[in-house]
Amino acid sequence: MSLRRWARFVVLALVSPALPPLAAQTTAPLDSTLLAGFRWRNVGPANMGGRVSSVAGIPSPSKTFFVAGAAGGIWKTTNAGTSFRPVFDNQPCISMGELAIAPSDTLQVWAGTGEEDSRNTISPGCGIFKSTDGGLTWKLAGLEKTGAIGRIVVHPTNPNIVYVAALGQAWTANPERGLYKTTDGGQTWQLVKFISDKAGFIDIAMDPTNPEVLFASSWERVRGPYFLKSGGPGSALWKTSDGGKTWTEVKGGGFPETMKGRIGLAIAPSDAKVVYALVEADTAPNPKVDKTKPAQKRPSGLYRSADGGATWTKTNDNDVRPFYYSQVRVDPKDPNRVYWSSTPVNYSNDGGKTVGLATQGIHVDHHAMWIDPNDAGHFIVGDDGGVSQTWDKGGNFDFLNVITIAQPYIVSYDMAFPYHVCAGLQDNGSWCGPSRHRQGAVTNADWITIGGGDGFYTAQDPTDPNIVYSESQGGNMGRLNLATRSSRIPSSSSAPIRPNRPHRRSRSGSPTCAGASSPTRPRWICAGTGTPRSSSHRTRRPRSTPARTR
C-alpha cells in the first residue's frame, strides 16, 4: 500500500462514520458529499504537552495569557491556566512562531505563523494575523511569504505601530524576509531592514523608555534533512535610534567580531542601558593549524552591556543549541537578574557571572518565556513538553497539562476491534490507545507508553494486536508485547544503525512497518534507512536489503 493510500486510510479510520460496504468503498470516489459527513473526534493522547513556541500574557491582576504551539495553533486561558480553549483552529495554518499583545490595548493580539526554531521537523507559516477582540476572531494582516516569524514588538502607546522580525523559509532562500514595520495596524508594511534572501531577522528588543530605540538581530541559516548551517555574513546585531529609518551594525567594544549565528536579545525594563545578547559565534578562521598555540575558545555565550550597546562584557559561556533556544529575559525590577534558555532555563542574579537552574522538575528544551511585568515572581515557560507556570521565580512549578498539543510524527493502527492507534511524539516517547469505547470518551488513562526518547514511527503486528514496535532517534527500534509487557530491541542492541555511515544513515523518523505477506509466510518488520532493512522474525535484528533501481 502506498504511503498516500495508507495515510488516507488512517484518516478515514479516525474520522469516518459508518461507511458503505467494502466493494462500494473501492469503487466510489471520495466526493465532497461523503467528505462532508466526516466528523473529527479527539482520541488523544494528552498525557503530555508538545513543543511551545511562544507565550504572551496580560499583566496582573489579569489572569489571561496565550500559548502558541509550534504545530498546535493558539490556546487562551482566562483563569491562570486552569483551563484553555483553542482560538486559532479555523486558520489556514497552525505552525506558530511568535505572539504579542499590544500594551495599550490588550484586546489587540498579534500572531506570527511559522516556527522559528529551525529543527528538521518544522512547518512553514502563512503570514501574520491580528485579533482586535482578544483572540476570538482573527484577520490575516499580510507577510504571507515570510515563512517564519521570530519576534513581534508593539509600540507601548500606539498599537498601530508594530515591528516584525521575519526569518524567512528554512529550507531555501527567499526574498520575503527581513525587518518589517507597520504604522497603520497591519494594513501596509514597510521593509525597514533587508540583509539578503538568505538572512532574515530573528529577534527585536525595544527600549522601554524610548520606543524609537531598538536592537534587532539578523540570522543567516539554511536547513536540510541532514544538516543545519547556522551563521554566515548576514548574521549581525543592529541598532536604530529613529524608529527604524536608519540602522547601524553593533561592532567592537567587546562584542564578538567573528562569524555569528543566532542572537537572542533583551533590554532590562528597569534600566534601559542594560542590554543582554545571547550570541552564537564561531572561532576565528585558522587555515593552518599551529600546534604550538592553544586551541581557540568559541566566543559564544551571554553578553551584557551597561551603556546601551556601546561596550560589551561576556558574562557566561553557556549557549547550548542556539538554533533551537536563544531566548533571553530580564527581571522587570532587577536589571541583574537575567534568564536565558539553554536546554533548561538558566538564571543569574549578577548579570550572568554565576548561574542557577530556573526550571527544575519540568520538561527541558525551552523556547518561550513570559514574565509578568507587575509580579516578577510569576512567569510562564514553554518547552518541548508543554507549558508550566511558577509564582516564586522558579522555586516551584505547576505543569499546565490541560492542552492537547502533542506532536505525533505519524500514526499507525492495528486490526483489532475496536482498533488501537499508536503514535510517536516529538520528544515525548511513543504511545498507544484505543480508538473508542463502548461508552464514554477516550481519556488519558487509556493511553500507555511503548517507547521513549523522540518518538517517531510506530507499527503494529497485523495478526497480533499485542505486538507493537516503536522507533526513536538514531534508528533505535523496540518491540513490546502489551499482554506480557516483555520487550525486545530488534536492531540497536546487537548492531546499531550508525547515522554517520552514509549507506545506513537513519535520520529523525525512519519509516517502520510490520506485516505478514501471506498466511504461510512468517511475520516481518522493515525499517527505512539509507539502506532498506527487513526481518522475517519479529525479534531479530533487521538485515540490509539491496535497493532496487530501474
Q: Cell numbers of 474, please?
A: 538514531
122-137 confidence digits (pLDDT tens): 999 999 999 999 999 9
Reply yes or no on whether the pLDDT at 541 is more than 70: no
- Do 97 and 201 touch, CB atoms closer than 8 A? no
Q: Cell numbers of 95, please?
A: 505552525
Q: Which of 11-25, 142-156, 191-205 has the lowest mean pLDDT?
A: 11-25
Which residues make Cβ contacts (< 8 Å) with residue 467, sequence separation at least 6? Answer: 460, 461, 479, 480, 481, 482, 514, 538
Reply yes or no on whether the pLDDT at 504 is more than 70: no
The pLDDT-based confidence of 21 (bands split at 50, 70, 90) is: low
Reply yes or no on whether the pLDDT at 528 is more than 60: yes
The pLDDT-based confidence of 34 (bands split at 50, 70, 90) is: confident
Count the neighbouring beta carbons within 10 Å of the beta carbon of residue 501: 12
pLDDT of residue 199: 98
Q: Which of 16-20, 164-168, 400-404, 528-532 has the lowest mean pLDDT?
A: 16-20
Parallel, antiparallel, or unpaired for β 458-460 and 448-451? unpaired
What is the H or E stretch that residue 26 is in? helix 22-27
CA nearest to 452, candidates 470, 433, 432: 470
pLDDT of residue 230: 96
What is the H or E stretch that residue 179 is in? strand 178-182
Q: Cell numbers of 380, please?
A: 510562564
**Sole residue written with cell 531479530:** 540
pLDDT of residue 39: 87
Rounded distance, CA 189 to CA 178, Å? 12
Reply yes or no on whether the pLDDT at 71 is more than 90: yes
pLDDT of residue 533: 56
Rounded mean pLDDT, 171-181: 97
Burial pattern 476-492, b for ≥16 Cβ within 10 A else e, equals bbbbbebeeeeeeebbb
The pLDDT-based confidence of 517 (bands split at 50, 70, 90) is: very low
Q: Which of 81-85, 443-447, 459-463, 489-493 has the lowest mean pLDDT?
A: 489-493
pLDDT of residue 3: 37
Rounded mean pLDDT, 420-441: 92
Distance between first and last Cα of the chain: 20
Rounded mean pLDDT, 354-362: 96
Reply yes or no on whether the pLDDT at 542 is more than 60: no
Reply yes or no on whether the pLDDT at 432 is more than 80: yes
The pLDDT-based confidence of 535 (bands split at 50, 70, 90) is: low
- Please state, for a pLDDT cut of 90, what percent of the chain lies above it: 69
Q: Cell numbers of 283, please?
A: 572561532
Domain 52-284+297-399 classification at class level: mainly beta
Collapse the DSSP code of 12 into the 3-class scheme (helix H, G, I; strand E, B; otherwise coil) and give the result: helix
Burial label, 82 (beta-carbon count in 10 A; 0-12, 13-18, 19+): exposed
Rounded distance, CA 381 to CA 53, Å? 10
Rounded distance, CA 484 to CA 482, Å? 6
- Do 435 and 78 touch, CB atoms closer than 8 A? no
Q: Which of 42-56, 385-399, 418-432, 514-528 has the lowest mean pLDDT?
A: 514-528
Would you say the pTM of this structure is higher than 0.85? yes
pLDDT of residue 477: 87
pLDDT of residue 10: 38
The pLDDT-based confidence of 121 (bands split at 50, 70, 90) is: confident
Rounded mean pLDDT, 389-397: 97
- Do 220 and 242 touch, CB atoms closer than 8 A? no
The pLDDT-based confidence of 526 (bands split at 50, 70, 90) is: confident
Residue type, 44: G
287-334 confidence digits (pLDDT tens): 778 888 888 899 999 999 999 999 999 999 999 999 999 999 999 999
